[in-house]
Structure 1
Amino acid sequence: MSDKTFDTINPFTEEKIKSYTYMTEKEAVSAVEKCHEAFLKWKHKSLDERGKVVAAIGKELNKNKEALAKLMTNEMGKLIKQGHQEVELCAGICEYTATEGKKSLQDEERIMANGGKGVIQYAPIGVIYGIQPWNFPTYQVIRYAVVNLMAGNGVLLKHANNVTGSALMLKDIFESAGLPKDLFTVLIMDHDTSDKVIEHELVRGVTLTGSSGAGKVIAKKAAEFLKKTVLELGSNDAYLVFEDADIELAAKTCVQGRIYNNGETCVAAKRFVVAEKVYDQFKEAFVKGMKAINHGDPTKDDSKMGPMARKDLREILHDQVEKSVNKGAKILCGGEMPKEKGYFYPSTVLENVKPGQPAYDDELFGPVASLIKAKDNDDAMRIANDSRFGLGGGIFSKDEEKAVEFAKSHFDTGIVNINSFGLAHPSMPFGGVKNSGYGREHGGFGIKEFVNVKSIMRSK
């Protein structure tokens, strides 16, 4: 047993929730081996058998929705109603995976050029290691875990320390739904032990959701041992307001896109690039909307935003705001560190945002919006693409066909919302380009990321 411990802290009360002890390297290796043993049996289950268990996980999630949402709120501060939404989304992902996902894994038959017959099998490869962040404690796990279980793989989870309780509750939910013991395993460990897990010969793939910096470290370590990776990393998504946009709709939607989940979402709306013709009109409506966002007890219905997940994250965000202001940005609302208990940060809008400022160049992971004026629609698209990131984005225009054409022909990003803001849909692929990572989840794509696409050929 390791003597290294850590505490989880409620970001609203700033009080300790629970203490946990890190695994030793020996304990972690043993957990990997047990997961592999469970995989060796699970991989021979039929798609129908796996699908029944995955569907049962969805039902079990709904059964535990209240308790799981409450725990997520206590551990990382999200609004309780958004916790309910998260669990419901995850139950939907399980249902989709058990039906549509199963179809993606069916064998395919092909006739070869020589007249022979070929079979393509999507075969499970083994134990998949997931390193996941705290901002969506249930969703981040479900979206990679259930597709890999459906594919016949075993799943390891290293969750962020501050949501360890949520990780362990998910393990219980999975097993209550009938998943074999050890097939889904939570590893509570430090970075050094995590590296040993990546190196382990029984681990066949690694998936990470996190920062671009973390992605580079994990990709390098996995590549050293020839392990495939899927990386869903950070972004500073641009939402474009074209000259013909419905400004009322754009402003209302952009406020929600910026403050949802307390502004701590990788695919949140972060940079708001507005054509000069409608800039002042949008700015007035957007700032008014952001000023109306009150923060408070995340368990109360009248709170529109909860606290940030950790004290250090709030300090990092405030430092980014101050550095941006020192380099010429102007605060239109917010921007001051609250004095009350809880790791709150006010909804904030920065104007005069330029290259060289964190508000333009980097990801601000909290309720801070960067307002940028563009000359016209084409210039707005140029600014949107002037980023090392490319996860999501959006376009507001009354001419939806034109907006779709811009999205298809010019927007260098993985996900584009037209006249809306959205997080994830089980039927649509999710992932980015550039420093936002590679690989896809959802939509029948994620289920094939960690399989052996096996060619079986026979003669005439």
Structure 2
Amino acid sequence: MERENPATAESLDPIEGDTEADVEDALALADEVYPAWSERRLEERRQLLNDAAEVLRENAEEYAELMAREMGKPIAGGRSEVEKCAWVCEHYAEYAETYLADEVLQSAPEAKAFVSSEPLGPVLAVMPWNYPFWQVFRFAAPNLVAGNVGLLKHASNVPGCAQAIEEVFLEAGLPEGAFQSLLVGSDAIEDVVTDKRIRGVTLTGSESAGRAVAETAGKELKPSVLELGGSDPFVVLDDADVETAAEVGMQARTLNSGQSCIAAKRFIVHDAVYDEFVSAFVDEMAAQDIGDPTDDDTDIGPQAREDLMEDLHEQVTETLDAGATLETGGEPLDREGYFYPPTVVTDVPRDSTMATDEVFGPAAAVFRVESEDEAVELANDSTYGLGGSVWTEDLERGERVARRVESGCVFVNELTKSDPRIPFGGVKNSGYGRELSEHGMKEFLNEKTVWVQSAADQ
């Protein structure tokens, strides 16, 4: 599998991909290992997750450097990502017993009824490059501790990350086959999804990839979870703390060099604070340091591939051609690698590219609205519904507006984020199903109803 350092445009050593025979061997091993793994004491699986957290922390610098080389993540962000992966392992190690406990139901007086949460078997995860460790661990931790086994088809530009993740679990002491990486292209996935040994599939990625996987899984009557694109609204109301909203808004747009499905992308600002917000927001965006992702002082690294940078620039250009105003940025940087500066565009026509499409890079579209109702209407005027953020000093008002936003999650006075303690996922073209917390853990479990009654009571 060919690799390229997006900060230098230099080729990295290729990594040998898996053959059809390798994939068959992996499926056979997963099927073989699953019964014994699912029957191991929960306490043992919990301890192994804690051990995986230790492995992650011990090798955090190595993994952060690997992410920087393969997809350009700034080194500080890579370290934070590894720590978050350790956290999700520890979270499920701590709470698995509670999440998996039988749920007692109402029943006849002479009987008892409960729901037992039981694993399904091997589950396939199709994961993206932008958070190459976190996206995988938020799938792996709950599924492994629940007794499922995992197979990972990672993005083709981060095969080193895929190998490293498999090694984390092996070094932690999980049996060979409990978690495996399949180093294959996207063209091999349909056959894996349809294989009878695969019991479910989860995908984080593009809308087109999600539709293809969902169609295949649906034909096979297999459960699926899709976390797809987003065009998240960042709503700044007239009573917001504008300075804080501008600072956090910059972070929400530029995290991971802007390459995040839950990044704030459409900034919807009340007329009463519009000028103040735009001024502060542009200053925050323009102040970010762009450079070598291995440098601790770098805020913004390269875009992960040249074609992605070109697509981003095309979206900005089309929006400006439609009548928008450029406040800062707007041109690829003239240097080695695929660097695009933080960009702010105002006066954005509501039918233009940056208003309607997902913008996967550090470019923000800012809209002026006259009222709370108009802000909500514009926030919901999207085919996506992943996350959202609302800014107001009135917390009751914030909760009321949050309830009106059509998305899988909304944060009041905070940027949208995924957190092991709360469910994460979208609606509309952003997908379906949930990850994380108890809700996400149970997507690939059999919620079995058990009714127990003495024959004498018949």
Above 0.5 in TM-score?
yes
Partner of 1:34: 29
In 1, Cα distance between equivalents of 2:398 and 2:105: 39
After superposition, the Cα gap between the structure-2 partners of 1:109 and 1:396, relative to the gap in structure 1 and judged at 3 Å, is closer
Q: CA deviation at 1:96?
A: 0.6
- 1:220 pairs with 2:207: no
Q: How much has 1:156 moved relative to structure 2?
A: 0.3
Q: Specify the alignment match of 1:92 in structure 2.
A: 87
User: Which residue of structure 2 aligns with residue 458 of structure 1?
Assistant: 452
Supply the distance in 2 between the matched residues of 1:328 and 1:113 (Cα, whole angstroms).
68
Which piece of structure 1 moves more, 74-83 or 106-115?
A: 106-115
Q: Which residue of 2 aligns with 1:3?
A: none
SS for the counterpart of 1:32 is: helix
Deviates more, 1:270-279 or 1:16-25: 16-25
Q: How many residues align?
A: 454
Write the mapping of 1:280-291 to structure 2, written as runs, cut at 5 A: 280-291=275-286
In structure 1, how many angstroms separate the alpha carbons of the residues matched to 2:25 and 2:191?
12
Counterpart code for 1:97: Y
Superimposed CA distance per residue, residues 301-320 of structure 1 (whole angstroms, 9 cap, x where no aligned partner): 22211101111111111111
CA contact (8 A) 1:346 1:367 kept: yes
Contact 2:323 2:348 in 1 (8 A): yes
Aligned counterpart, 1:129: 124
Deviates more, 1:73-82 or 1:321-330: 321-330
The equivalent position to 1:412 in structure 2, one of 406, 409, 425, is 406
Runs of 4 or more consecutive aligned structure 1 residues displaced over 4 Å after TM superposition: none
* Contact 1:215 1:231 survives alignment (8 Å): yes
Instruction: Note the residue ranges of structure 2 that are not aligned, 5 or more in a row.
Output: none
Supply the distance in 1 between the matched residues of 2:231 and 2:416 (Cα, whole angstroms): 15
User: Which residue of structure 1 lines up, in the alignment, with residue 431 of structure 2?
Assistant: 437
- TM-score normalised to structure 2 length: 0.97
Residue among 240, 243, 248 paired with 1:253 = 248
2:203 to 199, 208, 220: 208
**Residue identity opposite 1:173 in structure 2:** V
2:169 to 165, 174, 184: 174
Q: Does 1:298 align with 2:300?
A: no
Deviates more, 1:315-324 or 1:233-242: 315-324
Deviation of 1:403 (Å): 0.5
Q: Are positions 1:310 and 2:344 aligned together?
A: no
Quote the Cα distance in structure 2 between the aligned partners of 1:12 and 1:186.
26
Residue 289 of structure 1 deviates from its aligned partner by 1.2
| Alpha-carbon separation, structure 1, partners of 2:226 and 2:207 | 9
Which residue identity is paired with 1:448? K
Preserved contact between residue 387 and residue 416 of structure 2 (Cα < 8 Å): no
Gaps of 5+ in 1: 1-5
Partner-residue secondary structure (3-state), 1:270: strand
Question: Is 1:369 the equivalent of 2:364?
Answer: yes
CA change 1:320–1:293 in 2 (3 A) is same
Q: Is the 8 A contact 1:36 1:183 kept in 2?
A: no
* Superposed CA offset, 1:183-203 (max 9, x none): 101001122221110010000
Give the deviation of 1:329 after TM superposition. Answer: 1.8
Separation in 2, partners of 1:253, 1:456: 48
Q: How does 1:237-248 map to 2 (within 5 A)?
A: 237-248=232-243
Shift of 1:113: 2.7
**For the Cα contact (< 8 Å) 1:28–1:193, is it kept in 2?**
no
CA deviations on 1:134-190 (whole Å, 9 max, x unpaired) are 001110000001111011001000000111101101111111101100110100112
Counterpart of 2:415 in structure 1 is: 421
2 CA distance for matches of 1:119 and 1:280? 57
Q: Deviations over 1:396-448 (max 9, x none)?
A: 1111221012112x111111121121422111111111111111111211111
Q: 2:381 aligns to what? A: 386
State the match for 1:197 in structure 2: 192
Q: Is the 8 A contact 1:29 1:197 kept in 2?
A: no
Within the alignment, does 1:17 sit opposite 2:12 as a pair? yes
Give deviations 1:219-265, integer Å, cap 9, x for gaps: 01111111110001110100001001111111111011101110001
- 1:40-83: per-residue Cα shift (whole Å, max 9, x none)? 21010121111111111111111111111111111111110111
Could you tell me whether the CA contact under 8 Å between 2:389 and 2:416 is conserved in 1? no
State whether residues 102 and 150 of structure 1, in contact with CA within 8 Å, keep that contact through their aligned partners in structure 2: no
Kindly provide the amino acid, as one letter, of the partner of residue 356 in structure 2: D
- Distance (whole Å) between structure 2 residues aligned to residue 294 and residue 325 of structure 1: 24
Residue 263 (structure 2) aligns with = 268
Deviation per CA, 1:68-113: give whole Å up to 9, x if none: 1111111111110111111111111111101113311122333513
CA distance in 2, matches of 1:422, 1:242: 17
1:24–1:193 Cα contact (<8 Å) kept: no
What is the alpha-carbon distance in structure 1 between the residues aligned to residue 187 and residue 244 of structure 2? 48
Query: How far 1:293 sits from its partner (Å)?
Result: 1.5
2:187 and 2:278 mapped to 1: Cα distance?
47
- Deviations 1:10-35 (CA, angstroms, capped at 9, x unpaired): 11121122212332223212211111
Partner of 2:108: 113
CA distance in 1, matches of 2:16, 2:90: 35
Shift of 1:342: 1.1
TM-score, structure 1 length as denominator? Answer: 0.97
> 1:48 is matched with which residue: 43, 47, 51?
43
DSSP-derived class of the 1:227 partner: coil
Distance in structure 2 (CA, Å) of the matches to 1:276 and 1:109:
52
Alpha carbons 2:235, 2:390 under 8 Å: kept: yes
Amino acid at match of 2:244: L
Instruction: Name the amino acid aligned to 2:183.
Output: I
**Matched residue, 1:69:** 64
Distance 1:90 1:384 in 2: 31
% identical equivalent positions: 42
1:356 is displaced (CA, Å) by: 2.3
The answer as to whether partners of 1:157 and 1:186 remain within 8 angstroms in 2 is: yes
- How far, CA to CA, are the matches of 2:140 and 2:200 in structure 1? 12
Residue 319 (structure 2) pairs with residue 324 (structure 1): yes
The one-letter amino acid of 1:438's match is: Y
